[in-house]
């Protein structure tokens, strides 16, 4: 089949790679003009993520990870409890994106192709781009994330994400930028601190080019904070030029004033080690936390994967694993039935899975609201 994948981040690349391997003619259309490399942070390796790395011949990326063997839970400004934990592999979004992007021939992955509209006919889909051009495909895979256009064609016109009332402040910095006391407490451990309506976690991830040796890795932290009430979310998501972003602010967009407030709050509220990590982060970024659950993941010729179908809370650690499981399930069903039957079976299987992950995420995020 001629398959068009809308969105060239991880869900799109996972699906495109598997479907190409199984003989389909796949094109990826990504709206970003310059590509997505260098923009990701860290993630926890999950079973489904390792499975897709194996299925697509990218096992080596699973070795480009940093392992934590201990958990440190802070109990106040300076006291903490350290316990052993099952080995946990921590990966970098960039390494995974890079290796899957390399899998796609340049002509099959087009940047600056913002899809504006989909028109589904009996046996094909017409795709219209923002620049006015069009393409057709036998099947469209909607991998266009939280602000999905393809979702509208499948799940109905009212497909808004529900804001959960809190945000995740995030940062990524060289491990060498941590002052000595913070490095001693945080490095090689999964770190956690809980306070009312808030918690912060931190762990090491590989360096920008997949480096895993000590001295070359990066420290990844996330501080979940309540931001509800009139205007609170817009205030957090306002960039240095005064523009309000709908979902997140990328690194570099935060105003100096907002960064100073974040660093001051961290000094006041967090254990010394986390406050030092936040103060040492040149470009913190922030992500609003939203929920979205599809009632329908498929139509006759369109299937949703990843965040286009279900936006789940990051505490599940399942955003990327879920995208991987969607891609593997779609490929498996397409290999065993005619397209419309395959999509129905895929939708049935993955809607149930998405709802279960979304429910567990809401439960984990309850104390943050
Ligand atoms: C740059 C970037 C960095 C990330 N870093 C991390 C991280 O470090 N850790 C983590 O856990 N998660 C990260 N995520 C989120 C993570 O990728 C997703 O939660 C999960 O993998 C599901 O991915 P997705 O492909 O469904 O959605 P997304 O990753 O959000 O990707 C959606 C893609 O679709 C494109 N798109 C949107 N609309 C259109 C359109 N109309 N036409 C064409 N293209 C469109 C977007 O530009 C984007 O590339 C990151 C996402 C991005 C985009």
| pLDDT above 80 for 38 | no
Q: Which atom of ligand 1 is nearest to the CA of 314?
A: 11
Q: 9 CA distance to ligand 1 centroid (A)? A: 5
C-alpha–C-alpha distance, residues 69 and 84, integer Å: 6
Could you tell me the pLDDT band of residue 64, with boundaries at 50, 70 and 90?
confident
> Which residue among 112, 144, 325 is best mutated to probe the pocket of ligand 1, counting the most ligand atoms within 8 A of its Cβ?
144
> Which residue among 145, 172, 220 is best mutated to probe the pocket of ligand 1, counting the most ligand atoms within 8 A of its Cβ?
145
Query: What kind of architecture, by CATH, is found in domain 60-92+163-289?
Result: 2-Layer Sandwich (3.30)
Pick the range with the lowest mean pLDDT from 43-52, 103-112, 156-165, 311-320.
156-165
Strand runs labelled E in the chain: 2-6, 25-29, 42-44, 66-74, 80-92, 109-110, 115-120, 125-129, 134-137, 139-142, 162-174, 189-195, 198-205, 218-226, 248-249, 285-293, 302-304, 310-311
Edge to edge, what strands does the sheet with 2-6 contain? 109-110, 25-29, 2-6, 139-142, 302-304
Question: In this structure, are strands 189-195 and 162-174 parallel, antiparallel, or unpaired?
Answer: unpaired
> Which residue among 10, 125, 220, 246 is best mutated to probe the pocket of ligand 1, counting the most ligand atoms within 8 A of its Cβ?
10
**Residue 302: its pLDDT value, please?**
98
Question: Measured on CA atoms in the order 130, 111, 354, 347, is the torsion positive or negative?
Answer: positive
Could you tell me the pLDDT band of residue 133, with boundaries at 50, 70 and 90?
very high
Q: Are 164 and 315 in contact (CB under 8 A)?
A: no
Cα angle at 129 between 125 and 131, to 5 degrees? 155
Instruction: Report, in this order, helix, strand and coil percent for the chain, each rounded to 5.
Output: 35, 30, 35
The secondary structure of residue 156, as a DSSP letter, is: -
Q: What is the mean pLDDT of residues 184-190?
A: 94
Q: 264 CA distance to ligand 1 centroid (A)? A: 31
Q: For residue range 216-252, list pLDDT tens digits in order.
A: 999 999 999 999 988 999 999 999 999 999 999 999 9
Residue whose C-alpha is closest to residue 88's, from 187, 190, 209, 210: 190
**pTM beyond 0.85:** yes
| pLDDT above 90 for 179 | yes
* List of residues 6+ apart from 298 with CB closer than 8 A: 154, 304, 343, 344, 346, 347
| Domain residue limits, the chain | 2-44+94-161+292-368, 60-92+163-289
Q: For residue range 329-365, list pLDDT tens digits in order.
A: 999 999 999 999 999 999 999 999 999 999 999 998 8
Could you tell me the pLDDT band of residue 256, with boundaries at 50, 70 and 90?
very high
CATH of domain 2-44+94-161+292-368: 3.50.50.60
C-alpha–C-alpha distance, residues 235 and 252, integer Å: 16
Alpha-helical (H) ranges within 189-255 are: 232-236
Q: Are 140 and 129 in contact (CB under 8 A)?
A: no
**Residue 40: its pLDDT value, please?**
77
What is the total residue count of the chain? 369
**Residue 167: its pLDDT value, please?**
97
| pLDDT above 90 for 328 | yes
- What integer best gives the mean pLDDT of the chain? 94
Cα–chain-centroid distance for residue 281?
A: 20
**Residue 88: its pLDDT value, please?**
84
Residue-wise burial string across 306-343, b where 16 or more C-beta atoms lie within 10 A, e elsewhere: bbbbbbbbbbbbbbbbbbbbbbbbbbbbbeeeebeebb
Q: 7 CA distance to ligand 1 centroid (A)? A: 8
**Residue 323: its pLDDT value, please?**
98
The answer for 153, left when phi > 0, alpha when psi is -120 to 50, beta otherwise, is alpha
Q: Which atom of ligand 1 is nearest to the CA of 11?
A: 25
């Amino acid at each position: 089949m001629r398959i068009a994948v809308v969105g060239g981040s991880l869900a799109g690349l996972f699906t495109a790679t598997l479907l190409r391997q199984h003989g389909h003619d796949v094109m990826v259309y990504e709206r970003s003009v310059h590509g997505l490399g260098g923009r990701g942070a860290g993630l926890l390796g999950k079973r489904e993520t390792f499975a897709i790395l194996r299925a697509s011949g990218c096992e080596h990326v699973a070795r480009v990870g940093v392992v934590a063997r201990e958990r440190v839970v802070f109990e106040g400004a300076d006291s903490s409890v350290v316990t052993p934990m099952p080995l946990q592999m921590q990966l970098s979004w960039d390494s995974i994106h890079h290796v899957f992007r390399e899998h796609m021939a340049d002509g099959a992955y087009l940047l600056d192709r913002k899809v504006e509209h989909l028109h589904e006919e009996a046996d094909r889909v017409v795709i219209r781009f923002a620049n006015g051009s069009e393409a057709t495909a036998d099947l469209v895979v909607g991998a266009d994330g939280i602000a999905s256009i393809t979702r509208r064609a499948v799940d109905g016109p009212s497909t808004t994400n529900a804001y959960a009332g809190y945000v995740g402040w995030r940062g990524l910095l060289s491990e060498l930028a941590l002052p000595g006391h913070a490095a001693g407490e945080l490095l090689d451990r999964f770190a956690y601190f809980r306070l009312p309506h808030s918690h912060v976690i931190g762990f090491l991830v590989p360096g920008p080019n997949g480096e895993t040796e000590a001295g070359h890795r990066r420290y990844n932290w996330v501080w979940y904070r309540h931001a509800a009430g009139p205007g609170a979310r817009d205030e957090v998501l306002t960039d240095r030029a005064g523009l309000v972003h709908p979902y997140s602010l990328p690194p570099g967009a935060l105003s100096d004033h907002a960064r100073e407030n974040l660093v001051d709050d961290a000094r006041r509220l967090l254990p010394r080690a986390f406050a030092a990590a936040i103060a040492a982060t040149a470009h913190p970024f922030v992500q609003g936390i939203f929920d979205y659950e599809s009632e329908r993941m498929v139509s006759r010729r369109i299937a949703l994967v990843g965040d286009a179908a279900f936006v789940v809370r990051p505490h599940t650690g399942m955003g990327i694993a879920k995208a991987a499981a969607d891609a593997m399930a779609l490929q498996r069903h397409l290999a065993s039935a005619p397209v419309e039957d395959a999509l129905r079976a895929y939708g049935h299987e993955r809607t149930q899975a998405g709802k279960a992950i979304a429910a567990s995420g809401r439960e984990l995020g309850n104390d943050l609201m």
